[in-house]
Amino acid sequence: MIHDFPELASYLPAPFRLVVHEQAVSTNDEVRALAVSGEAGGLVLLALTQTGGRGRRGSTWVSTAGDSLAFSILIRPQEQKALWPRLALATGLAVAEALESFGPATGIKWPNDVWIKGRKVAGILVEAGADFVIVGIGLNVNTRCFPLEIADIATSLGLETGSSHSLSEVLGEVIRRFALRHLQIGTEFNEMLDSVRQRCVLTGHHVSLTVSGSTRTGRVEGIAPGGELMLRTATGLENLIQADEVRFSGNTKES
């Protein structure tokens, strides 16, 4: 399945172009170096094995050949920089929609984790430069076993469907969806946000969030028009642009 990546490269929508490395420490770091040196937007750098990929909050994301996808996309947005954080939601939606094309229903854990049946199947790390954005995606495709520390919270497309999947087909679906969704962070954001809201796994739940070192607790009331998480706390309604960590603080979902 790995060897059909060259064929996929010829079918990606413009301006996306695929470069495959046998191994990388971090695809985000490699793409950042290329971006600084002037690489055009649209580069998709895939590592068959990633040994030191980063998740949010400095966590690691290790990917092995044949089981998962670890890749980073370089884009140079035309929209104003204040809108770039919306790319996390756009990417999460693109991944969710791509996975749904293979069968399972998905959920989005704001701002950028993708879940299937309450377990994490993909993580997204968006990092901005002066005039570019790197979108890093780690996606469990055929993974069957996970380290003990995450075995009860992680899953893969293969586990959920009961069959193995072509890595190149999954990657192709993600890129095709991303090619559309990343362009919607401006004037079409409301349309995109409706699709995100339909999949938001936090809405109606009580959660605990870490924001800039402090903790917020409350009930999630939804996602605001700008993409912020709406959290009802003891002192009122807060719209949070980002959070370092989001945890469920109760098992009951209120209507």
Instruction: Kindly report the CATH number assigned to the domain that includes residue 129.
Output: 3.30.930.10
pLDDT, averaged across the chain: 90
Least confident of 26-40, 134-148, 193-207: 134-148
Cα angle 7-98-28, degrees, rounded to a multiple of 5: 70
Write down the pLDDT at residue 61. Answer: 53
Write down the pLDDT at residue 250. Answer: 62
- Percent of the chain exceeding pLDDT 90 equals 76
Question: Is the distance from CB of 72 to CB of 45 less than 8 angstroms?
Answer: yes
Q: What is the pLDDT of residues 85-111, one digit of tens each?
A: 999 999 999 999 999 999 999 999 998
Question: Is the distance from CB of 31 to CB of 6 less than 8 angstroms?
Answer: no
Domain that includes residue 238, residue range: 205-253
Reported pTM: 0.92
CATH classification of the domain holding 220: 2.30.30.100
Question: Is the distance from CB of 67 to CB of 140 less than 8 angstroms?
Answer: yes
Write down the pLDDT at residue 78. Answer: 95
| Same domain flag for 210 and 179 | no
| Same domain flag for 194 and 221 | no
Q: For residues 236 and 228, give the distance between their C-alpha atoms in angstroms, rounded to a whole number.
A: 15
pLDDT band for position 2 (cuts 50, 70, 90): very low
| Same domain flag for 73 and 178 | yes
* Residue finishing a domain among 180, 199, 218: 199
* Residue finishing a domain among 167, 183, 199: 199
| Same domain flag for 184 and 246 | no
Write down the pLDDT at residue 150. Answer: 85
Q: What is the pLDDT of residues 185-243, one digit of tens each?
A: 999 999 999 999 999 999 999 999 988 888 989 999 999 999 999 999 999 999 998 88
Q: For residues 181 and 200, give the distance between their C-alpha atoms in angstroms, rounded to a whole number.
A: 17
Q: What is the pLDDT of residues 9-27, one digit of tens each?
A: 889 999 999 999 999 999 9
Over 50: is that where the pLDDT of 255 sits?
no
Write down the pLDDT at residue 6. Answer: 83
| Same domain flag for 87 and 181 | yes
Which residue in 33, 41, 126, 36 sits closest to 83, CA to CA? 126
| Same domain flag for 195 and 209 | no
| Same domain flag for 64 and 110 | yes
Provide the domain count of the chain: 2
| Same domain flag for 191 and 242 | no
| Same domain flag for 178 and 244 | no
Question: Is the distance from CB of 69 to CB of 170 less than 8 angstroms?
Answer: yes
| Same domain flag for 235 and 211 | yes
Over 80: is that where the pLDDT of 147 sits?
yes
Write down the pLDDT at residue 151. Answer: 86
Write down the pLDDT at residue 54. Answer: 59
| Same domain flag for 125 and 242 | no
Write down the pLDDT at residue 245. Answer: 84
More confident residue, 83 or 145: 83
Over 90: is that where the pLDDT of 56 sits?
no
Over 90: is that where the pLDDT of 45 sits?
yes
| Same domain flag for 211 and 140 | no
